[in-house]
Amino acid sequence: MQAADDHAGDHHPGSTRLYRAAGLVDEAVYRTEVALVTIAALVMTATVSLAILHRSFESSDSLLAKKLLAFLGLFGVENTPDNQVFLTTWVTPAILCGIIYFVSRSIFVAAATRRGRVLSRRNGILAGGGGIIFAYLLLQVILSVSSRWVCTGLVLLGCSAWLYQSIRDKRRLDSILAVLLAYGGYLACATLRPGYSWAQELSLILLAWMAFLGASMATRSRRHIQVDALSKLVPHRFRPWSRALGLTIATLFCAYLTYLAYRHVFGANGDFYGGELRPATRLPAWVIILSALVSFGLMTLRFGAMSIDAYCRPRMPDEEVIH
């Protein structure tokens, strides 16, 4: 929905103001959804990666060395303690360093090319070596520092970068979201247990948030399911108003679901007051249903804005049903 339209001036000034306000609401809701989904995806990727690294390197046994030894066994190399020590101590670190070197160098080359520059051979070597040093230090932090502080540092670092960019671009809504998420992320990280056994459970919680918010985002791009069987029975001249009525009903239905989710979470006997905690993450159990509350609340705002638009600018509904 755009904030203004070429035909907006054909209507009453009050209607035009309502329409513009609806467009601003829709844009703010969408930016909030994009921010939350992006952050959820980043957190999922980061926590799963941290869990894999921690599990792979917390033991002195190298999974990569075992795989190499099994592969070399096809060529007659015996599975002896000496061969295991040699592969674990020298071969697998060399392979990992080589992979990190070429990945880091490729990233810097791509960044330089994007800026129209050519990365010299010396700078390429420095970039690869810097990547190895950074990966080693990060691995030591993951193995020696509690997961709650590692995750807290990542959350605060990411939110600080987002806040800086938002202030620089004068995006007030993003600045507020960055501060709120930094505070909420700090509280969430403080409940985490040592190690990364909670990563899978957290990923499932975030997946629920992404699913509900994705459903809300679909309403903006008009990719939600639309039932138009009854609308085709309405006389042609009344269809613009039937569209407005349908959007109003959708708004009220989403508001009702928001109310039910609110009661489930914050009602007299809601999960918020139950005190139940998830076993792995130690997060309150109500954070899962909170995703439905936020999602349906956002959909209520969006359908409400679309309803205002429909009454301000009566027009024919889309003929095609989009799934």
Two tokens at 320? 């095609």
Q: Is residue 314 part of a domain?
A: yes
Query: What would the mean pLDDT of 180-186 be, rounded to a whole number?
Result: 89
Q: Are 308 and 295 in contact (CB under 8 A)?
A: no
Question: What is the percent of the chain where pLDDT is above 70?
Answer: 82
Residue 263 has what pLDDT? Answer: 92
Residue 234, burial from CB neighbour count under 10 angstroms (0-12, 13-18, 19+): middle
Query: What would the mean pLDDT of 231-260 be, rounded to a whole number?
Result: 77
Does the pLDDT of residue 67 top 90, yes or no? no
Residue 320 has what pLDDT? Answer: 42
**Which among 214, 170, 179, 199 is positioned nearest to 38, based on CA atoms?**
214
215 contacts: CB under 8 Å, gap ≥ 6? 224, 295, 299
Structural domains counted in the chain? 1
Two tokens at 173? 């809504």
Which of the two residues, 109 and 63, has the higher pLDDT score? 109
Does the pLDDT of residue 222 top 70, yes or no? no
Distance of CA 305 to CAs 2, 4, 76, 248, Å?
A: 11, 13, 71, 10
Name the pLDDT band for 78 (thresholds 50, 70, 90): confident
Name the pLDDT band for 7 (thresholds 50, 70, 90): very low
Two tokens at 65? 């060395």
Residue 233 has what pLDDT? Answer: 59
Does the pLDDT of residue 10 top 60, yes or no? no
Residue 316 has what pLDDT? Answer: 58
As a whole number of angstroms, the distance between CA 132 and CA 136 comes to 6
Residue 63 has what pLDDT? Answer: 64
- DSSP states of 170-217 as a string? T-HHHHHHHHHHHHHHHHHHTTPPSSSTTHHHHHHHHHHHHHHHHHHH
Query: What would the mean pLDDT of 294-311 be, rounded to a whole number?
Result: 84
Q: Which amino acid is at 86?
A: F
Does the pLDDT of residue 9 top 60, yes or no? no
Q: Is residue 7 part of a domain?
A: yes
Give the mean pLDDT of the chain: 80
Q: Is residue 54 part of a domain?
A: no
Which of the two residues, 97 and 310, has the higher pLDDT score? 97
Does the pLDDT of residue 207 top 60, yes or no? yes
As a whole number of angstroms, the distance between CA 12 and CA 170 comes to 32
Q: Is residue 298 part of a domain?
A: yes
As a whole number of angstroms, the distance between CA 171 and CA 316 comes to 35
Q: In the 8-state DSSP scheme, what is residue 281?
A: T
What range defines the domain where residue 233 resides? Answer: 1-27+198-323
Residues 275-300 pLDDT 10s: 888 888 888 889 999 999 988 998 88
Helix/strand/coil for 162: helix
Residue 179 has what pLDDT? Answer: 92
Helix/strand/coil for 284: strand
Residues 117-166 pLDDT 10s: 877 888 888 988 999 998 889 888 888 888 888 989 888 998 898 899 99
Residue 259, burial from CB neighbour count under 10 angstroms (0-12, 13-18, 19+): middle
292 contacts: CB under 8 Å, gap ≥ 6? 212, 257, 261
Q: Is residue 244 part of a domain?
A: yes
Q: Is residue 224 part of a domain?
A: yes
Q: Are 136 and 100 in contact (CB under 8 A)?
A: no
Residue 133 has what pLDDT? Answer: 92
Residue 47 has what pLDDT? Answer: 87
Q: Is residue 275 part of a domain?
A: yes
Contacts of 87-94 with C-beta under 8 Å, sequence gap 24+, read: 87/62, 88/60, 88/61, 88/62, 91/65, 92/62, 92/64, 92/65, 92/68
Name the pLDDT band for 1 (thresholds 50, 70, 90): very low
Which of the two residues, 16 and 152, has the higher pLDDT score? 152
Q: Is residue 101 part of a domain?
A: no
Q: Are 25 and 305 in contact (CB under 8 A)?
A: yes
Name the pLDDT band for 8 (thresholds 50, 70, 90): very low
Helix/strand/coil for 277: strand
